[in-house]
Amino acid sequence: METSDKAESGAHNQVILFTTLFLFWIMLNGTLAADTLLIGALASLSIALLLPNGLSFFTELQDTPQALVAGVRYYGYFFKELVRSNIKLTAIVLTRDLPIQPGIVKVRTKLKSRMGRLMLANSITLTPGTLTVELDGEWLYVHWVTVESTDIDAATAKIVSGFERYLEVMYG
Amino acid sequence: MTMLLDIIGGLLLVAGTAFLLFGGLGLVRMPDVFNRIQAGTKATTLGTLLTLAGATCLQPAWGVKLLLIGLFLLFTNPLSSQVLARAAHRSGAGKSEKTSIDRLEEDQRKKP
């Protein structure tokens, strides 16, 4: 029973992966000519078949209107943080005595889905002063240029919570 | 209209390259591999995205392709940095003297 469930979700994943790749291909080529479509379909199909566990942007995405709203707000928040991150880093790099106090802290995530965790790890890497070093189940090890707190809960609140509240709705 | 787009595009290109420059400076100035990756990832992501946005303003016809390149970058850039950082940590890369704490190393020691 369980194995057939697993096989089914694998096939479902492959369909999503194929669709994403194929759409990407069409947009990249900007044409609907038959030969282009055929090559794209063949390539997408082989990749999807070779990677039954492959993740794509739409894998595990919830199909609720709330997820869509959360997605839009997530990107708004994300770009704000990305700009903030760059300004902060530029300020550090341009300061004569390099004011850093690096360290690797441990944080915990509530997210259960693989795609949700992947997006979280990516988001953390692109936000002010943090870089995901290792993922271990619900634990993330994060390198922090200026360690503000070594406590797990406090660090989680500072690093993870901002993104988690959107990703939770998007991917669960 | 084209004039305005040209100006905006030019400004975006300059801003993008400026961030790339600061990222490069960060690579040189930062003391250890993890801090260097931090400087590298963020600056290259925003720098390249701004450059792509600038190029879109100058050549609107390329917009869709440049947007796709941007998306691709947004997903792959942080991922490759994480893999690099993990590999560096696993192979015991040296850490700056300023490093105050390393929970990952502590946890790995606890495991048999």
Query: Looking at the structure, do residues A104 and A166 belong to the same domain, yes or no?
Result: yes
Residues of B whose CB is below 8 A from A121: 78, 82
Tell me the domain boundaries of chain B: 2-92
Two structure tokens written together for A50: 């070779």
Minimal C-alpha gap between B79 and chain A (Å): 6
pLDDT of residue B12 exceeding 80: yes
pLDDT at residue B76 is higher than 70? yes
Residue B71: per-residue pLDDT:
86
How many Å apart are CA A152 and CA B41, to the nearest integer? 25
Q: Are residues A71 and A132 in the same domain?
A: yes
Q: How many beta-carbon pairs under 8 angstroms link A with B?
A: 126
Nearest to A86 among B30, B42, B77 (CB): B42
Percent of chain A exceeding pLDDT 70 equals: 89
**A133 → closest Cβ in B68, B86, B98:** B86
pLDDT in tens, B21-35: 988 888 888 888 888
Q: Bridge partners of A144?
A: A103, A130
Q: How far apart are the first and last CA of chain B?
A: 67
List, for residues A36-76, the tens digit of each pLDDT value: 899 999 998 998 888 877 666 666 677 777 788 888 888 88
| Residue A48: closest CA among A3, A9, A16 | A16
Output the pLDDT for position A1. Answer: 36
Looking at the fold, whether A39 and A70 belong to one and the same domain comes out as: no
Task: Say if the Cβ atoms of A102 and B19 lie within 8 Å.
Answer: no
Kindly report the length of chain A. Answer: 172
Query: Is residue A81 domain-shared with residue A152, that is, in the same domain?
Result: yes
A72 to A166, B25, B46: CA distances (angstroms): 9, 33, 19
Which 3-state string (H, E, C) describes chain B? CHHHHHHHHHHHHHHHHHHHHHHHHHHHHCCCHHHHHHHHHHHHHHHHHHHHHHHHHHCHHHHHHHHHHHHHHHHHHHHHHHHHHHHHHHCCCCCCCCCCCEHHHHHHHHCC
Residue range of the domain that includes A24: 2-50
Instruction: In whole angstroms, give the CA distance from residue B17 to residue B50.
Output: 8
Partner-chain residue, chosen from A93, A122, A147, that has the shortest CB–CB distance to B101: A147
Q: Out of A142-151, A157-166, B7-16, B90-99, pick the least confident.
A: B90-99
Report how far apart, in Å, the C-alpha atoms of A80 and of each of A64, A85, A148, B77, B94 are. 25, 9, 21, 18, 32
B78 touches chain A (CB under 8 A): yes
Does any domain span residue A112? yes
Give percent of chain A with pLDDT exceeding 90.
3
Could you tell me if residue A129 is inside a domain? yes
Tell me the C-alpha distance between B78 and A111, whole Å. Answer: 19
Are both A40 and A16 inside the same structural domain? Answer: yes
The domain tally of chain A equals 2
Query: Does some domain include residue A37?
Result: yes
Q: Which of A73-87, A158-172, B34-48 has the lowest mean pLDDT?
A: A158-172
**Residue B55 — pLDDT band, cuts 50, 70, 90?**
very high
Q: Which of B78, B81, B98 sits opposite A101 (nearest CB)?
A: B98
- Tell whether A46 and A12 lie within a shared domain: yes
Q: Are residues A82 and A155 in the same domain?
A: yes
The ipTM estimated for the assembled molecules is: 0.80
Q: Which residue has the higher pLDDT, A8 or B99?
A: B99
Instruction: Tell me if A124 is assigned to some domain.
Output: yes
In a domain, A16, yes or no: yes
Other beta carbons less than 10 A from residue B35's beta carbon: 26
Closest CA to B69 of B84, B88, B54: B54
Q: Tell me if A60 is assigned to some domain.
A: no
In whole angstroms, how far apart are CA B83 and each of A8, A109, B49, B80?
Answer: 30, 19, 22, 5
Interface residue B6 vs chain A (CB under 8 A): no
Q: Pick the residue from chain A with its C-alpha nearest to B42.
A: A126
Quick one: DSSP state of residue A25? H
B64 touches chain A (CB under 8 A): yes
Do residue A85 and residue B39 have CB atoms under 8 angstroms apart?
no
pLDDT over 50 at A96, yes or no: yes
For residue B87, the tally of other CB atoms under 10 A from its CB is: 12
Predicted confidence (pLDDT) per residue in A3-24, tens digit: 444 455 667 778 888 888 888 8
Residue A94 lies in a domain: yes
Please spell the DSSP secondary structure of A102-118, one letter per residue: -EEEEEE----SHHHHH
